[in-house]
Amino acid sequence: MKSSLLLFILSLFLLSCSKSEEPTTPPAEQQKPPEEEIGEKVFEGDVLFATQEEVDLFGESMYTGISGSLRIEGETIESLLPLSTLKSSFAISVINCPNLKTLSGLDSVESYINNIFISDNEVLESIESLQNITEIGTLDIVDNDQLTSLVGLGSITNIRFKARILANQNLKSLTGLDQLQSITNEFEILNNQSLESLSGLGSLVSIGQELSIRDNVMLQSIEGMSNIEDIGGEIIISDNTSLKSLEGLEGLSSVRSLSIDGNQSLVSLKRTGKPERSDNNFRYYK
Protein backbone atom coordinates (compact mmCIF):
# COMPACT_ATOMS: atom_id res chain seq x y z
CA MET A 1 0.00 0.00 0.00
CA LYS A 2 2.78 2.43 0.95
CA SER A 3 4.73 1.57 -2.20
CA SER A 4 1.68 2.32 -4.36
CA LEU A 5 1.19 5.69 -2.65
CA LEU A 6 4.84 6.58 -3.16
CA LEU A 7 4.64 5.72 -6.86
CA PHE A 8 1.53 7.89 -7.26
CA ILE A 9 3.19 10.90 -5.56
CA LEU A 10 6.34 10.44 -7.64
CA SER A 11 4.37 10.37 -10.88
CA LEU A 12 2.61 13.65 -9.95
CA PHE A 13 5.96 15.29 -9.20
CA LEU A 14 7.45 14.25 -12.54
CA LEU A 15 4.34 15.43 -14.43
CA SER A 16 4.49 18.90 -12.84
CA CYS A 17 8.17 19.26 -13.72
CA SER A 18 7.57 18.40 -17.38
CA LYS A 19 4.81 21.06 -17.65
CA SER A 20 6.98 23.79 -16.12
CA GLU A 21 9.71 23.15 -18.71
CA GLU A 22 7.37 23.67 -21.72
CA PRO A 23 8.11 26.96 -23.63
CA THR A 24 5.36 29.57 -23.45
CA THR A 25 3.80 31.10 -26.59
CA PRO A 26 2.23 34.59 -26.46
CA PRO A 27 -1.47 34.79 -27.29
CA ALA A 28 -2.32 35.36 -30.92
CA GLU A 29 -3.75 38.80 -30.22
CA GLN A 30 -0.37 39.97 -28.85
CA GLN A 31 1.48 39.07 -32.05
CA LYS A 32 1.01 42.24 -34.14
CA PRO A 33 1.71 41.91 -37.85
CA PRO A 34 3.81 44.67 -39.49
CA GLU A 35 1.77 47.68 -40.57
CA GLU A 36 0.64 47.43 -44.18
CA GLU A 37 1.89 50.28 -46.31
CA ILE A 38 -0.50 51.88 -48.77
CA GLY A 39 1.21 52.10 -52.17
CA GLU A 40 0.67 54.52 -55.02
CA LYS A 41 -2.26 53.61 -57.27
CA VAL A 42 -2.34 55.49 -60.57
CA PHE A 43 -5.19 55.44 -63.08
CA GLU A 44 -3.74 55.32 -66.59
CA GLY A 45 -5.50 57.68 -68.99
CA ASP A 46 -8.00 60.54 -68.81
CA VAL A 47 -10.96 60.65 -66.41
CA LEU A 48 -14.31 62.36 -67.03
CA PHE A 49 -16.96 62.67 -64.33
CA ALA A 50 -20.45 63.66 -65.50
CA THR A 51 -22.43 62.58 -62.40
CA GLN A 52 -21.99 62.39 -58.64
CA GLU A 53 -22.37 58.62 -58.88
CA GLU A 54 -19.29 58.44 -61.11
CA VAL A 55 -17.29 60.53 -58.62
CA ASP A 56 -18.35 58.24 -55.76
CA LEU A 57 -17.55 55.06 -57.69
CA PHE A 58 -14.07 56.28 -58.67
CA GLY A 59 -13.41 57.29 -55.07
CA GLU A 60 -14.02 53.74 -53.88
CA SER A 61 -10.92 52.63 -55.79
CA MET A 62 -8.75 55.07 -53.79
CA TYR A 63 -6.53 56.13 -56.67
CA THR A 64 -3.62 58.38 -55.71
CA GLY A 65 -2.92 59.65 -59.22
CA ILE A 66 -4.27 60.09 -62.75
CA SER A 67 -1.73 59.91 -65.57
CA GLY A 68 -3.93 61.94 -67.90
CA SER A 69 -6.41 64.77 -67.39
CA LEU A 70 -9.22 64.96 -64.84
CA ARG A 71 -12.38 66.65 -66.14
CA ILE A 72 -15.32 67.26 -63.80
CA GLU A 73 -18.45 68.44 -65.57
CA GLY A 74 -21.99 67.64 -64.54
CA GLU A 75 -25.16 69.15 -63.09
CA THR A 76 -25.56 66.54 -60.33
CA ILE A 77 -22.02 66.83 -58.96
CA GLU A 78 -22.12 68.33 -55.47
CA SER A 79 -19.04 66.93 -53.71
CA LEU A 80 -15.50 65.92 -54.62
CA LEU A 81 -14.77 64.46 -51.17
CA PRO A 82 -14.55 60.89 -52.57
CA LEU A 83 -11.37 62.01 -54.39
CA SER A 84 -9.51 62.75 -51.16
CA THR A 85 -6.75 60.18 -51.86
CA LEU A 86 -5.82 61.85 -55.15
CA LYS A 87 -2.35 63.43 -55.14
CA SER A 88 -1.60 64.04 -58.80
CA SER A 89 -3.14 64.57 -62.23
CA PHE A 90 -1.74 65.93 -65.48
CA ALA A 91 -4.52 68.54 -65.67
CA ILE A 92 -7.65 69.45 -63.72
CA SER A 93 -10.81 70.99 -65.21
CA VAL A 94 -13.95 71.79 -63.24
CA ILE A 95 -16.54 73.05 -65.68
CA ASN A 96 -20.27 73.76 -65.55
CA CYS A 97 -21.05 72.19 -62.17
CA PRO A 98 -23.99 74.33 -61.03
CA ASN A 99 -24.32 72.61 -57.63
CA LEU A 100 -20.65 72.47 -56.60
CA LYS A 101 -19.76 74.98 -53.85
CA THR A 102 -16.17 73.98 -53.00
CA LEU A 103 -13.33 71.84 -54.33
CA SER A 104 -12.97 69.93 -51.06
CA GLY A 105 -11.60 66.53 -51.93
CA LEU A 106 -8.71 67.87 -54.02
CA ASP A 107 -6.76 68.94 -50.93
CA SER A 108 -4.04 66.30 -51.38
CA VAL A 109 -3.17 67.26 -54.96
CA GLU A 110 0.33 68.69 -54.74
CA SER A 111 2.37 67.87 -57.85
CA TYR A 112 2.93 70.04 -60.91
CA ILE A 113 -0.35 70.50 -62.82
CA ASN A 114 -0.14 71.33 -66.52
CA ASN A 115 -3.50 73.11 -66.61
CA ILE A 116 -6.07 74.22 -64.05
CA PHE A 117 -9.34 75.27 -65.66
CA ILE A 118 -12.18 76.37 -63.36
CA SER A 119 -15.10 77.71 -65.38
CA ASP A 120 -18.86 78.31 -65.36
CA ASN A 121 -19.58 77.04 -61.85
CA GLU A 122 -22.51 79.15 -60.71
CA VAL A 123 -22.33 78.56 -56.93
CA LEU A 124 -18.61 77.84 -56.47
CA GLU A 125 -17.54 79.88 -53.44
CA SER A 126 -14.06 78.59 -52.69
CA ILE A 127 -11.02 77.05 -54.36
CA GLU A 128 -9.07 76.75 -51.09
CA SER A 129 -8.56 73.02 -51.61
CA LEU A 130 -5.94 73.72 -54.30
CA GLN A 131 -3.63 75.08 -51.60
CA ASN A 132 -0.89 72.44 -51.97
CA ILE A 133 -0.21 73.01 -55.68
CA THR A 134 3.04 74.94 -56.12
CA GLU A 135 3.51 75.18 -59.88
CA ILE A 136 1.25 75.02 -62.92
CA GLY A 137 1.39 75.47 -66.69
CA THR A 138 -1.83 77.38 -67.36
CA LEU A 139 -4.36 78.90 -64.98
CA ASP A 140 -7.89 79.75 -66.11
CA ILE A 141 -10.46 81.06 -63.60
CA VAL A 142 -13.45 81.98 -65.74
CA ASP A 143 -17.08 82.91 -65.07
CA ASN A 144 -17.56 81.66 -61.50
CA ASP A 145 -20.21 84.06 -60.23
CA GLN A 146 -19.93 83.44 -56.47
CA LEU A 147 -16.14 83.33 -56.20
CA THR A 148 -14.94 86.32 -54.14
CA SER A 149 -11.20 85.58 -53.86
CA LEU A 150 -8.47 83.28 -55.15
CA VAL A 151 -7.50 82.00 -51.73
CA GLY A 152 -6.24 78.49 -52.31
CA LEU A 153 -3.65 79.39 -54.93
CA GLY A 154 -1.24 80.76 -52.34
CA SER A 155 1.44 78.10 -52.85
CA ILE A 156 1.88 78.79 -56.56
CA THR A 157 5.16 80.60 -57.26
CA ASN A 158 5.41 80.20 -61.03
CA ILE A 159 2.99 79.83 -63.94
CA ARG A 160 4.92 78.32 -66.83
CA PHE A 161 2.62 79.48 -69.61
CA LYS A 162 -0.28 81.89 -69.07
CA ALA A 163 -3.02 82.95 -66.65
CA ARG A 164 -6.53 84.25 -67.27
CA ILE A 165 -8.84 85.70 -64.62
CA LEU A 166 -12.01 86.39 -66.57
CA ALA A 167 -15.64 87.33 -65.90
CA ASN A 168 -15.89 86.34 -62.23
CA GLN A 169 -18.67 88.72 -61.26
CA ASN A 170 -18.11 88.81 -57.47
CA LEU A 171 -14.32 88.61 -57.38
CA LYS A 172 -13.16 91.63 -55.35
CA SER A 173 -9.39 91.12 -55.29
CA LEU A 174 -6.69 88.70 -56.40
CA THR A 175 -5.83 87.74 -52.85
CA GLY A 176 -4.65 84.17 -52.96
CA LEU A 177 -1.93 84.70 -55.56
CA ASP A 178 0.34 86.23 -52.93
CA GLN A 179 3.34 83.96 -53.62
CA LEU A 180 3.20 84.21 -57.42
CA GLN A 181 6.53 85.57 -58.71
CA SER A 182 6.50 84.97 -62.45
CA ILE A 183 4.31 84.18 -65.44
CA THR A 184 6.26 82.97 -68.45
CA ASN A 185 3.74 84.04 -71.08
CA GLU A 186 0.56 86.17 -70.86
CA PHE A 187 -1.54 87.46 -67.96
CA GLU A 188 -5.11 88.58 -68.60
CA ILE A 189 -7.43 90.18 -66.04
CA LEU A 190 -10.68 90.81 -67.90
CA ASN A 191 -14.28 91.71 -67.19
CA ASN A 192 -14.42 91.05 -63.44
CA GLN A 193 -17.27 93.39 -62.55
CA SER A 194 -16.61 93.62 -58.78
CA LEU A 195 -12.79 93.69 -58.85
CA GLU A 196 -11.68 96.74 -56.88
CA SER A 197 -7.92 96.21 -56.61
CA LEU A 198 -5.06 93.97 -57.67
CA SER A 199 -4.20 93.11 -54.08
CA GLY A 200 -2.60 89.69 -54.03
CA LEU A 201 -0.04 90.34 -56.77
CA GLY A 202 2.56 91.90 -54.50
CA SER A 203 5.16 89.20 -55.18
CA LEU A 204 4.81 89.26 -58.97
CA VAL A 205 8.10 90.41 -60.54
CA SER A 206 8.00 89.36 -64.19
CA ILE A 207 5.58 88.56 -67.03
CA GLY A 208 7.13 87.10 -70.17
CA GLN A 209 4.71 88.60 -72.67
CA GLU A 210 1.52 90.67 -72.57
CA LEU A 211 -0.28 92.00 -69.50
CA SER A 212 -3.89 92.92 -70.22
CA ILE A 213 -6.19 94.60 -67.66
CA ARG A 214 -9.50 95.33 -69.35
CA ASP A 215 -13.19 95.92 -68.66
CA ASN A 216 -13.01 95.74 -64.87
CA VAL A 217 -15.51 98.50 -64.15
CA MET A 218 -14.93 98.74 -60.37
CA LEU A 219 -11.12 98.64 -60.49
CA GLN A 220 -9.77 101.82 -58.88
CA SER A 221 -6.09 101.05 -58.48
CA ILE A 222 -3.32 98.82 -59.78
CA GLU A 223 -1.05 99.43 -56.78
CA GLY A 224 -1.18 95.74 -55.92
CA MET A 225 1.42 95.14 -58.64
CA SER A 226 3.99 97.47 -57.11
CA ASN A 227 6.88 94.98 -57.36
CA ILE A 228 6.56 94.24 -61.07
CA GLU A 229 9.89 94.87 -62.82
CA ASP A 230 9.84 93.26 -66.24
CA ILE A 231 7.12 92.72 -68.86
CA GLY A 232 8.32 91.23 -72.13
CA GLY A 233 5.39 92.42 -74.24
CA GLU A 234 2.77 95.16 -74.15
CA ILE A 235 0.75 96.40 -71.20
CA ILE A 236 -2.86 97.06 -72.15
CA ILE A 237 -5.02 98.90 -69.62
CA SER A 238 -8.40 99.71 -71.12
CA ASP A 239 -12.05 100.32 -70.28
CA ASN A 240 -11.62 100.18 -66.52
CA THR A 241 -14.06 103.01 -65.94
CA SER A 242 -13.27 103.55 -62.22
CA LEU A 243 -9.46 103.50 -62.52
CA LYS A 244 -8.01 106.75 -61.17
CA SER A 245 -4.24 106.35 -61.48
CA LEU A 246 -1.41 104.17 -62.76
CA GLU A 247 0.45 104.16 -59.47
CA GLY A 248 1.86 100.71 -58.97
CA LEU A 249 4.00 100.57 -62.10
CA GLU A 250 6.83 102.69 -60.71
CA GLY A 251 9.19 99.74 -60.38
CA LEU A 252 8.77 98.67 -63.99
CA SER A 253 12.18 98.73 -65.68
CA SER A 254 11.46 96.83 -68.89
CA VAL A 255 8.35 96.84 -71.11
CA ARG A 256 7.83 96.97 -74.86
CA SER A 257 4.90 99.41 -74.75
CA LEU A 258 2.08 100.66 -72.57
CA SER A 259 -1.36 101.23 -74.07
CA ILE A 260 -4.09 103.02 -72.11
CA ASP A 261 -7.56 103.49 -73.53
CA GLY A 262 -11.08 104.21 -72.29
CA ASN A 263 -10.37 104.60 -68.56
CA GLN A 264 -12.78 107.47 -68.01
CA SER A 265 -11.86 108.27 -64.40
CA LEU A 266 -8.11 108.31 -64.93
CA VAL A 267 -6.66 111.52 -63.48
CA SER A 268 -3.03 110.56 -62.83
CA LEU A 269 -0.51 109.21 -65.30
CA LYS A 270 2.33 108.77 -62.83
CA ARG A 271 4.71 106.75 -64.94
CA THR A 272 8.11 107.30 -66.56
CA GLY A 273 8.23 107.99 -70.29
CA LYS A 274 6.61 110.45 -72.67
CA PRO A 275 2.89 110.08 -73.32
CA GLU A 276 1.15 110.54 -76.64
CA ARG A 277 -2.49 111.48 -76.32
CA SER A 278 -5.19 111.18 -78.97
CA ASP A 279 -8.93 110.81 -78.29
CA ASN A 280 -8.45 109.46 -74.74
CA ASN A 281 -5.79 107.01 -75.94
CA PHE A 282 -2.45 107.03 -74.18
CA ARG A 283 0.63 105.17 -75.30
CA TYR A 284 3.96 104.95 -73.52
CA TYR A 285 7.02 103.63 -75.25
CA LYS A 286 10.18 102.76 -73.45
Report, as an integer, the average pLDDT of 33-59.
Answer: 84
73 part of a folded domain: yes
For 55-69, 171-185, 222-236, 265-279, which range has the lowest pLDDT when averaged over its residues? 265-279
State residue 254's pLDDT score: 84
Query: What band does 33 get if pLDDT is binned at 50, 70 and 90?
Result: very low
92 part of a folded domain: yes
pTM of the model: 0.81
Domain hosting residue 82, numbered range: 40-115
Task: Determine if residue 7 is left, alpha or beta; phi over 0 gives left, psi from -120 to 50 gives alpha, anything else beta.
Answer: alpha
96 part of a folded domain: yes
Strand-pair category, 65-72 with 88-95? parallel
Is 84 or 6 the better-scoring residue by pLDDT? 84
85 part of a folded domain: yes
Flag whether pLDDT at 236 surpasses 90. yes
154 part of a folded domain: no
217 part of a folded domain: no
Closest CA to 41 of 64, 15, 25: 64
State residue 283's pLDDT score: 56
Q: How far is residue 76 from each of residues 46, 79, 81, 97, 125, measured CA to CA in Å? A: 20, 9, 14, 7, 17
- Structural domain tally of the chain? 1
84-91 long-range contacts (CB < 8 A, ≥24 apart) are: 84/59, 84/108, 85/59, 87/111, 88/42, 88/64, 89/47, 89/65, 89/113, 90/66, 90/114, 91/115, 91/116, 91/117
Flag whether pLDDT at 279 surpasses 50. no
| CA within 13 Å, CB half, 78 | 2
277 part of a folded domain: no
State residue 270's pLDDT score: 60
| CA within 13 Å, CB half, 2 | 0
Terminus-to-terminus CA distance in the chain, angstroms?
Answer: 127
89 part of a folded domain: yes
